[in-house]
Amino acid sequence: MKQRITKVHPKDNVMVALTDLQAGEELTYKGETYKPIEFIPGKHKFAINDLPTGTQIIMYGVLVGVTQNDIPAGGLLTTANIKHAASGFITGNNHAHWDKPDATKWELATFNGYHRENGDVGTANYWLVIPMVFCENRNIEVLQEALVKPLGYGRKKTYEIKAQQLIDKIASGSGVDEVLFTEIGSEDANAHQHKLFPNVDGIKFLTHTGGCGGTRQDSTTLCGLLAGYITHSNVAGATILSLGCQNAEVKTLQDEIAKRDPNFKKPLYILDQQKVGLETDLIELAIRQTLAGLIQANENTRKPASLNKLVIGLECGGSDGFSGISANPAIGYTSDLLVSLGGSVILAEFPELCGVEQNLIDRCVDKDKAERFSSLVRSYSQRADEAGSGFYMNPSPGNIKDGLITDAIKSAGAAKKGGTSPVTDVLDYPEKVTKPGLNLLCTPGNDVESTTAEVGSGANVVLFTTGLGTPTGNPITPVIKIATNTSLYKRMNDIIDINTGTIVEGDETIEQAGERILDYIIKVASGDIEVSAVRHGQNDFIPWKRGVSL
């Protein structure tokens, strides 16, 4: 560890501990000496100067809290001595001026993707099977059981095999504690199974709990999200099961598809159970039509595409005190590189933009975008307050334990994912990305709801930073997991793909890490690297019902 403390922004009045600090230690940063007066856990913050009660806490150059009592120089910031505070915002002067990073190295770079008739290019090639309403979930599961293994898409069953072998040993008289899993074989029952359709990455079954009951707005929004997945560049076609009487009507889905792709030409099979009649007839027809669609999907093969066909979703979950100084700014630089190459990026999680709204407003390319962002944020915040759960309640216990003790501290670091480029569009869930550049998408901070939404808006790769570790994935888009610290990367490298703890340790700059991540994205988009979430079959899919979800 070359440096044990850091100051994120010149205006800050707090210092970040990069490792555990003992009381009385003398630490030097840029020629100045600092001395903690108590134990400071790594990732947490201590006061640079005396901070009397009512003093504004500045970090990342913005207001992130206010002291609730006196904090002496060198004292630890905690939930007991500071509370959340954030600056207000107005629709300011918008500008599109931007000092672009040098992306010359990637100007002629390509990735091998699946080209669609509407001009989109996918990083994968999936077939979808989707219910219009939760009543059809069981039939979806029946189809999944009927199709996945026979077509060669079964995942490894290592634990199933180990459990069965352990059960057999117990049946023969061994005790549970007498047999270790390490003594049991891990052969894969599907190791020699071949896919019938080698150019199709898989069939994904998206069950959900919506489509009826609730409000009509919920059902319309669900149709929009499902349309986003059906028209997605990573999807070849879909089989849809409708009961026939639900709020989420087939016509609504078709209208939402037309909004996103007016000349939609993918194979799409919609079956109405109440019209078909017998369940056996429904399942048999669904199997027959799905196989016909897979034959068409298998005709598409990977071909070179420009990097401007990439749409990158930016997400963070299980964040820690290093998220805003390592992984988030690193993918922020990646975002800037991609935008300068004509690609699109999506910054979402509106509750986690608290305190940095003004910066994003000022980066909007025109007043209309600024006003829409302002309106969406104010409306969301008001709904949260009315529910008795304002944005200030966003940090989870894990966040707080690892140094993110106010929503504004968490948000200021989370916003770093969006880099510095102009905001070219502002979208409300579940609208589709149609413009290159940085897009702001209204979603909750909930990891899976937000990732689900970003993919529904068109993200064909997702960058997901984490400081505590989370397995979150998506059914159709590769989710690249990026650790904020080396300890996490070593401890959970079965679900983490990239380490940016190198930034904290002083072995790599933010820019170097951002470039490394872009090179990795190209390999993932080309199918050369299978990310951990895909390898583990982490198919998380949770539609947002537009209620208060932080």
What pLDDT shows up at residue 167? 81
Which tens digits make up the pLDDT trace of 60-115? 999 889 999 999 999 999 999 998 887 778 776 666 678 899 999 999 999 999 99
Contact, 364 vs 426, CB < 8 A?
A: yes
pLDDT above 70: residue 185: no
The closest alpha carbon to 346, from 486, 217, 441, 480, belongs to: 441
Reported residue count of the chain is 550
CA distance 170 to 374: 62
CA distance 107 to 444: 34
CA distance 345 to 521: 13
Which tens digits make up the pLDDT trace of 155-167? 656 677 777 777 8
CA distance 146 to 393: 44
Return the structure tokens found at 184.
């049991």
Mean per-residue pLDDT, 345-360: 91
What dotted CATH number matches 126-155+190-297?
3.40.50
pLDDT above 90: residue 436: yes
What pLDDT shows up at residue 547? 63
What pLDDT shows up at residue 406? 81
Return the structure tokens found at 104.
């010359």
Mean per-residue pLDDT of the chain = 91
Which residues fall within 8 angstroms of residue 473, CB to CB, at 6 or more apart? Answer: 479, 533, 534, 536, 537, 538, 539, 540
Contact, 517 vs 337, CB < 8 A?
A: no
What pLDDT shows up at residue 159? 72
Q: What stretches of 478-534 adopt beta strand conformation (E)?
A: 479-483, 498-499
CA distance 505 to 512: 14
The one-letter amino acid code at 269 reads Y
Label the pairing between strands 110-115 and 121-122: antiparallel
What pLDDT shows up at residue 189? 43
DSSP secondary structure letters along 203-248: EEE---S-SSSS-HHHHHHHHHHHHHHHT-TTEEEEEEEE-SSSSS
Cα 438 from chain centre: 15
Return the CATH class of domain 1-83. mainly beta
| Direct distance between the N- and C-terminal alpha carbons of the chain, in angstroms, rounded to an integer | 35
Cα separations in angstroms, 414 against 40, 315, 384: 23, 8, 19
Which tens digits make up the pLDDT trace of 250-300? 999 999 999 999 999 999 999 999 999 999 999 999 999 999 999 999 999
DSSP secondary structure letters along 320-375: -TTTTTTHHHHHHHHHHHHHHTT-EEEE--GGGGTT-HHHHHHHBSSHHHHHHHHH
DSSP secondary structure letters along 87-107: -----------------GGGT
pTM: 0.92
Secondary element (H or E) of residue 291: helix 279-297
Cα separations in angstroms, 210 against 24, 253, 328: 57, 14, 33
Higher pLDDT, 181 or 460: 460
pLDDT confidence band for 186 (50 / 70 / 90): very low
pLDDT above 70: residue 390: no
Contact, 399 vs 343, CB < 8 A?
A: no
Cis peptide before 150 (omega within 30 of 0): no
Domain boundaries, given as residue ranges, for the chain: 1-83, 126-155+190-297, 306-469+479-523
CA distance 501 to 481: 13
Which residues fall within 8 angstroms of residue 282, CB to CB, at 6 or more apart? Answer: 139, 241, 271, 273, 276
The one-letter amino acid code at 353 reads L
Which tens digits make up the pLDDT trace of 478-528? 999 999 999 999 999 999 999 999 999 999 999 999 999 999 999 999 999
> Edge-to-edge strand order for the sheet containing 56-59?
56-59, 62-67, 82-83
Which residues fall within 8 angstroms of residue 10, CB to CB, at 6 or more apart? Answer: 61
CA distance 56 to 12: 10
